[in-house]
Structure 1
Amino acid sequence: MKAMHAFLLICIVLTCGAQVKAFDPTVIFEQKCDFDWISFRAAGLQGDLKSKLFGQHVALPIILKAVNGFMSNDNSEKPLVLSLHGPTGTGKNFVSNMIADNIYKEGINSRFVHVFISTLHFPHVHQIDTYKSQLQQWIKGNVTNCGRSMFIFDEVDKMHPGVIDSIKPYLDYYNKVDGVSYRKAIFIFLSNADEEGIKQTALDFWKKGQDRSEIRLKDMETLLSTTAFKSKKSDIWISSLIEQNMVDFFVPFLPLEYTHVVQCVMAQMKTKGLEPDPEVAHKVASDLDYFPKFERVFSVSGCKTITSRLHFYIHY
C-alpha cells in the first residue's frame, strides 16, 4: 500500500519535533530491491509520454533522453537530478508518475519511491534543523536499503533553502557519502517558481505570430538565466544546484492551449473507461479560464481540474 504510513510518520515527526527511530534495513518488506520489482521499460516510458503528455514538445525529448541515458548506464557518476519547472496543471507531477510507473512494478506506490511536499512535510521555519536531520536520515536509510530509489520533492519553490541544502552532498559526483553510494538514485524537483517567465516566453511567441512548436529549450534558458531564482529567497538553492552542475536537466513545461485541454479530457475519459466524446471534451475545455483574458489562448489551470470537473458533463 505504498510507504505512505512511513511518510505520515515522517510528517508527524517533522512537524511535532519528536524523535524518530533510525531506519532499520533488517526489516523485511514484501517488495524487494531486485529485478522483479525494479525494471526499466524504455518503450513504456516513450509510449506514455507520447500518448498522454500534451503540449510539451520541449520537455518530452529531454525527459526521454535523461531517463533512458541514466537507466542504461550501469556506471553513472552521479544520481539523476531533474528539475521540472512551469505553471500548474502542465504535467510535472504526471511525468514524475510516468517515470515511476516505468521503473518500478508498483509505480508511484512503490516503497522505493518517496514523495515529499514542502508545505506538508517541512512547514515550520523554526524546525529546519529537525527537518534536515530527518531528511538526511530518511534518504540515507532508503538508499542503503535500495540504491535504485527515487525521491520526488514537490513545491520546492515553497521550501526553505536550508532544508534542501542538507542533501546536496547526495546529488554530487561522489563515489560514496559516509559509505553509501547514491549514483543509482533519482531525484526529481517540481516547482512553479519560474512559471511567469515560461508563460511570458509562450506569450511572446504567440504575439509575434510564431507557432508554439518553434519554442526551443534555448529560448527558455536565455530568459530564465536573467529572471529565474531572483524573485524569491526560496529559489536560491535551485540556482546553487545549477551553478554547481548538480541538476542534470532543467525541464520547462509550457502553459497549455485549448486544444491540449481537449486532449486531456479525451484521455481522462478513456482512463475512466468511458467512450471519449469530443462534444463533452469541448464543453469541459470551454468552461475553464484562459489568459490573456480576451484572447483566451492559454489555460490558467492547465489540465489540473479536469478530473474533478468531468463528472458534471457526463450523462450516465
Structure 2
Amino acid sequence: MSDESSSTSSSQLVEDFEGELDEEVDSDGGKNQTGRSGPTQPSSFASLRAVIRIKQKYQAMKLRRQEMAHSLVAAAAAGGLAGAPGRTSPKIFTFDGLNPATFPAFPSVPQRKKRRRKRRVLFPNDGPCKTVPKQQERSRATYCLYLLIAIVFVQVYNAIENLDDHVLRYDLEGLEKTLRREVFGQQGAVEGLVYHLKDYLSTYVHNKPLVVSIHGPSGVGKSHLGRLLAGHFRSVVGDALVLQYYVLHHCPQEAEAVQCARNLSSLISEMVERAEEEEKIPLFIFDEAEHMQVEILDVLLQLVASKKSNEYLNAIYLFLSNLGHAHITKHMLQNSSSISMAMTASGRHRNLVKELTPVLRNTLEKHHRLWAEADLLPLGLLEKSHVMECFLEEITREGFYPDHSNIERLAGEIQYYPVVAGREYSQSGCKQVVAKVNLL
C-alpha cells in the first residue's frame, strides 16, 4: 500500500508540473502568434525554437521516468527486490521510520591517531620580520661580547696579580715565621696581628690608616714584638719610612709636650709624603704609650682621623702600652679553669679578645679618644714553660751550654701567681731573663 501511494503521489506531481509547463509554453506561443501580426523579428523565432526544444527534451525525460516508475512498481509487486525504494520523485531525506536492522553491519575500522602538527611561529602582519631566522646565523654583536668578556677577565687577573705583588713586597709570610719563632706564648696575638697587616696591605686604596693597639702586663713581649716589626719593615721599605718613638726618650719633659707634638707632626708628614712618592706604606711604632702626653695624643688623633689627603690614609700606626693590664691579669686568673687544656693558642686568644675588648675599650676611651680609632689586641700572661723558652733562647744567644736543669733552676727563681687549673703564670713574664743570664 505504501508503494502504491508513493507512486500515485509522484505521478500526480509529474502531471502538475507538465500542466504548468504546457501553460507557459502556450502563453509564450500565443504571444509569439499575436506578435506575428506585427512586423516579424528574428529574436521571437529564436525564443520559439528554444521553447520547442525544451518541450521535446521534457517529453523525452517524462517518458523515461514513467517507464522507470512502472518497472519499479512491477518489481515491488513481484517482490523481486527486497528493500528497494518505491519512491520515484525526489523528497527531503529524514531518519524517520528507518530501522537500523535493515542496514548491513559494517566491520569497525580502527581510527588512526592524528599526529599533532607543530604550530608554526606566526609573526604580525605589520612587523618587519616575516620569516623564522636561521639558527646557524649569529649576530656580530656576539663576537663583540666575547671580546669584552676577555678584556675584563685580563684586567681582573692583572689586578689580582698586582695585589699579590704588593703583598709579597712586604714578605708577610717571613714576618709571621719570625714572630712565631721569637715571641713566646703569644701565638694567637701573632696570628691576629698578621691578619690585620694582610688585610690592610692587600689593597692600594684605603679609607683610613691601620691603627693597632697592643696591650698586656709587663714582660709579656710587647717591646720585643715592636722591635721585630721595626726590623722587618726596615729591611722592606727602608729606614726612612720606619719610626720607633719612645716617649721617655724623645720627650722626657712634660713642659716640652707642645713642641714635641709639633715636631712629631712635621716628622710624620714628611715620612708619609716620601712614602707616597715611593709608593710604599710607612710604619710608626709608639712604645710605652701610657706615658704619652695629652698634646701628643691629640696630634696623633688628628693624623689618624684626618681624611684630607690620601698619603695620610696609607700608613700603619702601632701603639704598645700596659694600659688595662689589670683587667687582662684578673680575667686570665679567674677564667683559666674554664679554658680547656685541649684548646689551641689561637682559640684561647679569640676568647680573650672577645671577652676583654669591650672592657678595655671602655677604659682606654676614658684615657683618650685616640683608642676609639684603634683595633685592640691584648697579650695574655706567660706560663712557666714560656719563661723556660725565653731562658733557652737567651742562653743560646749568649753562647752558654743549654743545660735543662740549669734552665729549670733559673725559671724557678722568678715569682709566679698561684697555680690555677694546672697553669702557673709568671708575674713579671720574661722581663728578668736577660738580667739573670748576664749573672751566669
Taking a change above 3 Å as real, the CA distance of residues 256 and 227 of structure 1, as seen in their structure-2 partners, is: same
User: Superposed, which structure 2 residues align to 1:113-192 within 5 Å?
Assistant: 113-147=242-276, 148-172=281-305, 174=307, 176=309, 181-192=311-322
User: Superposed, which structure 2 residues align to 1:227-242 within 5 Å?
Assistant: 230=363, 236-237=367-368, 240-242=369-371
Which range moved further: 255-264 or 144-153? 144-153
**CA offsets, 1:204-245, max 9 Å, x none?**
122447448453435445345236654x89x622xx2343xx
Corresponding residue for residue 78 of structure 1: 208
* Post-superposition offset of 1:183: 2.8
Whole-angstrom distance in 2 between the partners of 1:277 and 1:132 = 49
Return the TM-score normalized by structure 2.
Answer: 0.54
Taking a change above 3 Å as real, the CA distance of residues 290 and 296 of structure 1, as seen in their structure-2 partners, is: farther
Q: Equivalent residue of 2:235, what SS? A: coil
Q: Is the 8 A contact 2:297 2:370 kept in 1?
A: no
Partner of residue 403 from structure 2, selected from 277, 287, 297: 277
Q: Is the 8 A contact 1:113 1:150 kept in 2?
A: yes
Corresponding residue for residue 195 of structure 1: 325
Corresponding residue for residue 104 of structure 2: none
Taking a change above 3 Å as real, the CA distance of residues 229 and 156 of structure 1, as seen in their structure-2 partners, is: farther
Which range moved further: 128-137 or 188-197? 128-137
Corresponding residue for residue 46 of structure 1: 176
Whole-angstrom distance in 2 between the partners of 1:66 and 1:271 = 31
Q: Equivalent residue of 2:243, what SS? A: strand
Whole-angstrom distance in 2 between the partners of 1:66 and 1:75 = 15
Whole-angstrom distance in 2 between the partners of 1:123 and 1:202 = 34
Whole-angstrom distance in 2 between the partners of 1:273 and 1:113 = 31
Whole-angstrom distance in 2 between the partners of 1:273 and 1:111 = 34
Taking a change above 3 Å as real, the CA distance of residues 39 and 209 of structure 1, as seen in their structure-2 partners, is: closer
Taking a change above 3 Å as real, the CA distance of residues 209 and 61 of structure 1, as seen in their structure-2 partners, is: closer
Q: Equivalent residue of 1:83, what SS? A: strand
Higher helix share: 2
User: Superposed, which structure 2 residues align to 1:9-48 within 5 Å?
Assistant: 39-48=169-178
Q: Is the 8 A contact 2:170 2:236 kept in 1?
A: no
Structure 2 counterpart of 1:55, one-letter code: G
**CA offsets, 1:68-93, max 9 Å, x none?**
22233222332221101001111112
Q: Is the 8 A contact 2:184 2:389 kept in 1?
A: yes
User: Superposed, which structure 2 residues align to 1:295-310 within 5 Å?
Assistant: 297-310=424-437
Whole-angstrom distance in 1 between the partners of 2:393 and 2:354 = 31
Taking a change above 3 Å as real, the CA distance of residues 309 and 204 of structure 1, as seen in their structure-2 partners, is: same
**CA offsets, 1:18-42, max 9 Å, x none?**
xxxxxxxxxxxxxxxxx9xx94112
Structure 2 counterpart of 1:281, one-letter code: I
Partner of residue 263 from structure 1, selected from 376, 385, 389: 389
Q: Which has the higher contact order (CA 8 A, sep 6+)?
A: 1
Q: Is the 8 A contact 1:269 1:276 kept in 2?
A: yes
Return the TM-score normalized by structure 1.
Answer: 0.73
Q: CA RMSD in A?
A: 3.1
Which range moved further: 91-100 or 211-220? 211-220
Corresponding residue for residue 379 of structure 2: 253
Whole-angstrom distance in 2 between the partners of 1:226 and 1:102 = 32
Whole-angstrom distance in 2 between the partners of 1:89 and 1:65 = 24
Corresponding residue for residue 215 of structure 1: 348
Detail structure 1 runs of 4+ shifted over 4 Å in the superposition.
207-210, 293-296
Q: Equivalent residue of 1:166, what SS? A: helix
Structure 2 counterpart of 1:137, one-letter code: S
Q: Equivalent residue of 1:151, what SS? A: strand
* Post-superposition offset of 1:133: 1.4
Structure 2 counterpart of 1:298, one-letter code: Y
Partner of residue 110 from structure 1, selected from 206, 218, 239: 239
Structure 2 counterpart of 1:253, one-letter code: L
* Post-superposition offset of 1:274: 4.8
* Post-superposition offset of 1:189: 0.4
Structure 1 counterpart of 2:206, one-letter code: S
Q: Is the 8 A contact 1:157 1:193 kept in 2?
A: yes
Q: Equivalent residue of 1:140, what SS? A: helix
Rg larger for: 2
Taking a change above 3 Å as real, the CA distance of residues 216 and 81 of structure 1, as seen in their structure-2 partners, is: same
Structure 2 counterpart of 1:266, one-letter code: L
Taking a change above 3 Å as real, the CA distance of residues 75 and 205 of structure 1, as seen in their structure-2 partners, is: same
Whole-angstrom distance in 2 between the partners of 1:156 and 1:242 = 11
Identity percentage over the alignment? Answer: 23
Matched pairs, number: 266
Corresponding residue for residue 13 of structure 1: none
Corresponding residue for residue 287 of structure 1: 413
Extract unaligned runs of 5+ from structure 2: 1-164
Q: Equivalent residue of 2:262, what SS? A: helix
User: Superposed, which structure 2 residues align to 1:92-103 within 5 Å?
Assistant: 92-103=222-233
Structure 2 counterpart of 1:163, one-letter code: I
